[in-house]
Amino acid sequence: MRPDPVEIEQVARATQLHVPTEAEVSEIESSSRLVTRQGVLYLSLPLINRSDGPHTTSAGFVLSRTHLMTVRFHDSRLFDGFADQVPHGEIPQETAAHVLVSLLEAIVDRQADVLEQVRADLDTMSNRIFAMGTRASSGRKQEDAALRAALGEIGRIGDLLSHVRDTQMGIARLVPYVQSVARSWLPADLAPRLDTLSQDIASIGSFDIYVSEKLQFLLDATLGFINIAQNNVMKVLTVASVVGIPPVLVAGIYGMNFKYMPELGWTWGYAFGWAMIILTALIPLAVFRWRKWI
């Protein structure tokens, strides 16, 4: 964990193994993440870190017949929790390979837990979003705030899923590589565990696709509600402009200052003008109401 030069020298001298640097652990090419040198496997994997917002941190694994070295440069609750279980005998540790497989199983379990939590969050968000279309309006401002919050939550979950997918791709490549390269010296009892681990990785990949599709569906639904709200605003403005045109026309006609206008001499001319203005405003409203446009 964040090794300094003295620690690196001590570990290298005791194990005769190369200690990967942070730059080596952070490489993104498959050829750099999965390397074998003199029978020793040098592996690296991006891991999800949610301590200060979802992001990925890289971890390195060096596996030989007798040693397992893990190298990381950021805190990880997964590693800390795993390390706490080893002294109590909860993690099989007959060989270095046993510890690595157990650690990979813990990583896959962590991915599954994250995806399960994401699904629960999406179910809650789905109920909240679609409730807007069934309940009585609680106010334009409240709905706008709820939709903005939903978009922000969808963005956060989408960011988290991208990091889950990054880890998923990394471990999906790592497990078959270990099976093929170290097959000759891996303990026989690890073969079924690695096969089960590969199946778990595949099932998590399928579940990740399902969650991503649901996230996209909720994003489309949220944007649809936003479009409906915008259309309602435009409809109100359109109705107001159409209703306002006839009264303005009447007022414009009777507001002309010609000397000879028949209505100027009428006793009820002023009331007649008001009646025309009100009537020409009500007629379009009645037509819109009859056509069920409003």
Yes or no: say if 45 and 33 are a contact pair by the CB < 8 Å rule.
Answer: yes
Are both 178 and 280 inside the same structural domain?
no
Are both 101 and 192 inside the same structural domain?
yes
Are both 223 and 239 inside the same structural domain?
no
Are both 239 and 206 inside the same structural domain?
no
Are both 254 and 175 inside the same structural domain?
no
pLDDT in tens, 4-54: 999 999 999 999 999 999 899 888 887 788 999 999 999 999 988 876 667
pLDDT for 48: 84
pLDDT for 87: 59
pLDDT in tens, 161-180: 998 999 999 999 999 999 99
The more confident residue out of 234 and 71 is 71
Are both 172 and 143 inside the same structural domain?
yes
pLDDT in tens, 123-171: 999 888 888 756 555 567 778 888 888 899 999 999 999 989 999 999 9
Q: How many separate domains does the chain show?
A: 2
246: phi then psi, degrees, rounded to nearest 5: -60, -45
**Alpha-helix residue ranges (DSSP H) falling in 74-189:** 77-85, 96-131, 140-181
End-to-end CA distance of the chain: 66
pLDDT in tens, 224-277: 888 888 888 888 888 888 888 888 888 888 888 777 778 777 888 888 888 988
Are both 225 and 262 inside the same structural domain?
no
Is the confidence at residue 216, as pLDDT, over 90? Answer: yes
Yes or no: say if 204 and 108 are a contact pair by the CB < 8 Å rule.
Answer: yes
- pTM for the whole thing? 0.77
Are both 65 and 129 inside the same structural domain?
yes
Are both 228 and 241 inside the same structural domain?
no
End residue of a domain, out of 186, 208, 233: 233
Are both 174 and 259 inside the same structural domain?
no
Which domain range does residue 264 map to? 234-290
pLDDT for 64: 93
Are both 189 and 138 inside the same structural domain?
yes
Cα–Cα distance measured from residue 285 to residue 246, given in angstroms and rounded to the nearest whole number: 11
pLDDT for 175: 94
Are both 168 and 266 inside the same structural domain?
no
Yes or no: say if 75 and 50 are a contact pair by the CB < 8 Å rule.
Answer: no
Is the confidence at residue 92, as pLDDT, over 60? Answer: no
Is the confidence at residue 289, as pLDDT, over 90? Answer: no
Which token pair is 85?
Answer: 């279980």
